[in-house]
Structure 1
Amino acid sequence: MSIATSVPHPAVETARRFARSSRTHDGLRCPNAAFDAWFARQRLVNRFEVTPVPFSRLRGWRFRSDTGDLVHDSGGFFRIEGLHVTGDLGEWSQPVINQREIGILGILVKEFDGVPHLLMQAKMEPGNINTVQLSPTVQATRSNHTGVHGGRAVPYLEYFTDGSRSRTIVDVPQSEQGSWFLRKRNRNMLVEVVEDVPDHPDFRWLTLGQVNRLLRRDNVVNMDARSVLSCIPCLPDEPAGGAYGRALHEALRPGSWSLRSDAEVLHWISDLKSRRELTQQRIPLSDAAPWRRGPAAITHPTGRYFRVLAAEIAAANREVPGWTQPLLEPAGRGVVAFLTRRINGVLHILLNARSEAGCMDVLELAPTVQYQPCNHPGRPPRFSRAAEDPARLVYDTLQSEEGGRFMYAESHYRIAEVDDACPLDVPEDFTWVTPRQVMDLLRHGYYLNMQARSLFAALLALA
């Protein structure tokens, strides 16, 4: 595999079309004022209720008598089991979400008056901070779109499963949170149609510029949408404005200079993967000491990390009107941050080669800073002080993680610009890369972790 030095696939023209969409800040199909009114109404009119309940109130879920694993009676969806980890990170056991299915995270694209629009959904997820957030057109596990839940069909799924109905722009498998999932991945898809698409009250056509506007707001664009947005090929003709925008524009340009060549970046990744050790052994949940199962939660005795609980959900606009399920609730709010720096006038991002318990392949590239302060009292990670300095921030929002599996999982997402005092010579598990190099890596699966992709979508919104 090599990182292309030209604009990412599929073509320069496609990338420029999406740049045109990103420059269209008010919609042709749904103007901003109409969207804001519609989205506020979606949060009001769609009845929902999320109530924590004892495990004994779960319907269709049970703890297996032989392993203690929490499983669904159908054998689908996901399971909570134990994981024993050894290697360079240390040795420990923990609960983990094992979801073997590869789902679809897909955004449908259609051109209106020469401008590509994205079909976005107002979707309720039980663990969202404010319940309804903007999601991809399709956000479904295999159990969802094969009807294991016995509910309504997933709208617009046919455009992603029937190749004759659309043109594929992006289709790449990407991972999800390695600290909480075991080797979890989904297809991140972007497909374009020319035919008329039926309307649905829970969906609206938005330009990329409108979605970028919403990325500046707290807890509006959900994690799955941010992941797909990060994979969109985009080549702005002009910078957004200001010194930062000009540096970012230069850093996205095909053939732009970078501190490390593409080959050197790939060598650095491969070398670290070959030298690091990470062994993952699935174990019974009942053997995941020192974690304890109580009547209503699975917890660590320190109260740190996360807990697994049960919830009863009622929702008017989902495939089924009510259900129960397990959810993972983090112990506290996280911090996810990029340090960026102009080097020879070209913007670079400082990435961290990070191993996590459930990684697909030893490590992935993560943001400069990614941690939960409550789990590291008095021991903040490297670069965290610069990444949290208000004077350096060019982007700062609160964003939710995936609300279908996590309860109120929220992090500060930040992008900071540092000056020449920040060294170019960094520890071996960090490296400076350009946004163009990141965009090239995103053409392939399992290079950037979920948090890095989410934050990269926000960075592109500044271009």
Structure 2
Amino acid sequence: MTTPATPPAPSALRPRHDPRLADRLARSAAAVTTGHHLRTDDFAAWLDTRRHAHRFRVDRIPFADLDGWSFDPRTGNLAHRTGRFFTVEGLDVTTGHGPTARHWQQPVIHQPEVGILGILAKEFDGVLHFLMQAKMEPGNPGLLQLSPTVQATRSNYTKVHQGSDVTYLEHFTDPDRGRVLADTLQSEHGSWFYRKANRNVVVETDADVEPHDDFRWLTLGQLGRLLHHSNVVNMDARTVLACLPTRPDGPATATGGAPAPAEAAALHSDTELRSWITRERARHDLHAHRIPLARVTDWTRGTHTLHHTHHRYFRVTAVAVQAGNREVSGWTQPLFEPVGLGVTAFAVRRFSGVPHLLAHARVEAGFLDTVEIGPTVQYTPANFAHLTGADRPPFLDAVRTAPPAAVLYDTVHSEEGGRFLNAESRYLFVDADAAGIPADPPPGYRWATPGQLTALLRHSHYLNVQARTLLAALTTGA
């Protein structure tokens, strides 16, 4: 008779959550003037030094001058000869049903591979710091902005372009190199990408990290100060910072000047908020499928641009790039260029002293789950200039005409510079009372606390990238 084997002893149990992490992040957010080897007041000079340390240049070119990219003669799709990186295809979209249904077609970026947006963290003198990179992207206003430690597509870090290695990549591909503080898949712009997601990850290390001239360690507080400056902290850094599990009663000065009280209660429970999102996803009909770019209606392709017949929304253009500090020093590529400056804002209202943000259940054609939570307002006014009255987007005019005293935060940030050219939005927090935004919101809108929205970022595909940018301001105490 065989004696049953003794089962192995269970591994030691661990706390489900790190009880110290929120306090450590709050301490980092409170450190606003000095980081490891770089004072906040010296940051602009350092970034300018990096801007002049390498050769950077971006020139618009005709489509015919793209190297390795071409329009397929059968489908019209714009693709790279390797079949990697991304393609510009067509998208056919129908939303709603019956007489209220809307239908349109548009170009869209199809990039099925998941990229890495990773920030390395390390403690210096008892304060968490984050390793940020001065990175050139061809679509960035000013070219150089502060990016995550690693910002790379799979094509980049597998070296399809036959370039150099991605610096510090091993901290995010080797699970034994550090301790994960945040790690989720998050969407990119649902109006311009088709079902695109990136891994947003923060890893803390205790090991020595080899210094590099284009990288600096900064505290959350320093990053918060820099988020008050236009086009300094790039989109990829903002979305990762938003995913940090900060404490809801942290220094949320952007929502009204004083730290918020602990969020022991909210207007709606967490379960009610998640149920609202589920209902919104269930009630919206969205049918979006890829089609050949050559079949897209209402768009015209010229020698230099692919644009809408009414010159709204965005255009597809081409650029030639020189960048001395990138994995490849020169290349050409297509970019999407929006028409006009966007306006992106959360309305803020206190209920029983607790700040709430007016969230919008946004339907965007490229979302994986049809609906994600967006800010109260997320529009490019130029696209709606021909509309009047009830046809105007909700709350857009209230935000644009809000008195100066109602504006709690107001900074221009650019979107992802690797795919979009000069894509900028004015990001705001606006006092709802002063702007005339009612406490009782219409369907599709719901008040939620910053802590509730931050908690949703522990999961994928709940908050869109524009909402994450504004939450990054709260995460860092901006």
User: What code does the residue aligned with 1:442 have?
Assistant: L
Match of 2:28 in 1: 21
Residue 280 of structure 1 and its aligned partner are, at CA, apart by 1.1
Match of 2:128 in 1: 116
Alignment of 1:37-52 (within 5 A): 37-52=45-60
Partners of 2:17 and 2:232 lie apart in 1 by: 29
Indicate which of 312, 315, 318 corresponds to 1:310. 318
Is the CA contact (8 Å cut-off) linking 2:250 and 2:477 kept in structure 1? Answer: no
Partners of 1:386 and 1:94 lie apart in 2 by: 29
Indicate which of 6, 12, 19 corresponds to 1:12. 19
Quick check: 1:403 aligned with 2:410? no
Taking a change above 3 Å as real, the CA distance of residues 402 and 333 of structure 1, as seen in their structure-2 partners, is: same
Match of 1:92 in 2: 104
Tell me which structure has the larger Cα radius of gyration. Answer: 2
Partners of 1:426 and 1:453 lie apart in 2 by: 21
Calculate percent identity across the aligned residue pairs: 52
Residue 36 of structure 1 and its aligned partner are, at CA, apart by 2.6
Taking a change above 3 Å as real, the CA distance of residues 292 and 206 of structure 1, as seen in their structure-2 partners, is: same
Partners of 2:291 and 2:449 lie apart in 1 by: 40
User: What code does the residue aligned with 1:59 have?
Assistant: D
Is the CA contact (8 Å cut-off) linking 2:200 and 2:239 kept in structure 1? Answer: yes
Q: Secondary structure of 2:119's partner?
A: strand
Alignment of 1:50-449 (within 5 A): 50-88=58-96, 90-235=102-247, 239=251, 244-246=256-258, 248-250=259-261, 253=262, 256-379=264-387, 380-388=392-400, 389=402, 390-419=404-433, 422-449=437-464
Residue 236 of structure 1 and its aligned partner are, at CA, apart by 7.4
Residue 241 of structure 1 and its aligned partner are, at CA, apart by 6.9
Match of 1:456 in 2: 471
Unaligned runs of 5+ in 1: 1-7
Partners of 1:378 and 1:169 lie apart in 2 by: 46
* More divergent stretch after superposition (230-239 vs 89-98): 230-239
Residue 43 of structure 1 and its aligned partner are, at CA, apart by 1.9
Q: Secondary structure of 2:256's partner?
A: helix
- After TM superposition, where is structure 1 displaced by more than 6 Å over at least 4 residues in a row? 240-243
Partners of 1:54 and 1:378 lie apart in 2 by: 31
Once the two structures are superposed, residues 275-308 of structure 1 have per-residue CA deviations (whole angstroms, 9 ceiling, x without a partner) of 1100111100000112111111111110001100
Partners of 1:316 and 1:197 lie apart in 2 by: 23
* More divergent stretch after superposition (233-242 vs 67-76): 233-242
Taking a change above 3 Å as real, the CA distance of residues 37 and 284 of structure 1, as seen in their structure-2 partners, is: same
Residue 32 of structure 1 and its aligned partner are, at CA, apart by 2.0
Residue 45 of structure 1 and its aligned partner are, at CA, apart by 2.6
TM-score (norm 2): 0.91
Partners of 2:249 and 2:313 lie apart in 1 by: 44
Q: Secondary structure of 2:20's partner?
A: helix
Partners of 1:238 and 1:302 lie apart in 2 by: 46
Residue 29 of structure 1 and its aligned partner are, at CA, apart by 2.7
Is the CA contact (8 Å cut-off) linking 1:338 and 1:387 kept in structure 2? Answer: no
User: What code does the residue aligned with 1:461 have?
Assistant: T
Residue 86 of structure 1 and its aligned partner are, at CA, apart by 0.9
Number of residue pairs matched?
452
Partners of 1:87 and 1:35 lie apart in 2 by: 46
Partners of 1:102 and 1:268 lie apart in 2 by: 28
TM-score (norm 1): 0.94
* More divergent stretch after superposition (255-264 vs 214-223): 255-264
Is the CA contact (8 Å cut-off) linking 1:105 and 1:189 kept in structure 2? Answer: yes
Partners of 2:255 and 2:476 lie apart in 1 by: 15
User: What code does the residue aligned with 1:116 have?
Assistant: L
Q: Secondary structure of 1:309's partner?
A: strand
Partners of 1:236 and 1:427 lie apart in 2 by: 26
Partners of 1:236 and 1:381 lie apart in 2 by: 30
Is the CA contact (8 Å cut-off) linking 2:248 and 2:451 kept in structure 1? Answer: no
Is the CA contact (8 Å cut-off) linking 1:133 and 1:222 kept in structure 2? Answer: yes
Once the two structures are superposed, residues 5-36 of structure 1 have per-residue CA deviations (whole angstroms, 9 ceiling, x without a partner) of xxx97423111101100101121332224433
* More divergent stretch after superposition (289-298 vs 92-101): 289-298
Taking a change above 3 Å as real, the CA distance of residues 422 and 95 of structure 1, as seen in their structure-2 partners, is: closer
Partners of 2:276 and 2:147 lie apart in 1 by: 34
Is the CA contact (8 Å cut-off) linking 1:16 and 1:236 kept in structure 2? Answer: no
Q: Secondary structure of 1:211's partner?
A: helix
RMSD (CA atoms): 1.8
Q: Secondary structure of 1:249's partner?
A: coil
Taking a change above 3 Å as real, the CA distance of residues 434 and 146 of structure 1, as seen in their structure-2 partners, is: same
Taking a change above 3 Å as real, the CA distance of residues 266 and 454 of structure 1, as seen in their structure-2 partners, is: same
User: What code does the residue aligned with 1:438 have?
Assistant: L
Is the CA contact (8 Å cut-off) linking 1:245 and 1:462 kept in structure 2? Answer: no
* More divergent stretch after superposition (37-46 vs 206-215): 37-46
Q: Secondary structure of 1:386's partner?
A: helix
Is the CA contact (8 Å cut-off) linking 1:79 and 1:97 kept in structure 2? Answer: yes
Residue 428 of structure 1 and its aligned partner are, at CA, apart by 1.3
Residue 238 of structure 1 and its aligned partner are, at CA, apart by 6.6
Is the CA contact (8 Å cut-off) linking 2:29 and 2:477 kept in structure 1? Answer: no
Q: Secondary structure of 2:151's partner?
A: strand
User: What code does the residue aligned with 2:62 have?
Assistant: P
Taking a change above 3 Å as real, the CA distance of residues 241 and 64 of structure 1, as seen in their structure-2 partners, is: closer
Is the CA contact (8 Å cut-off) linking 2:376 and 2:395 kept in structure 1? Answer: yes
Partners of 2:50 and 2:231 lie apart in 1 by: 15
Partners of 2:39 and 2:17 lie apart in 1 by: 29
Partners of 1:412 and 1:260 lie apart in 2 by: 29
Q: Secondary structure of 1:56's partner?
A: helix
Is the CA contact (8 Å cut-off) linking 1:386 and 1:416 kept in structure 2? Answer: no
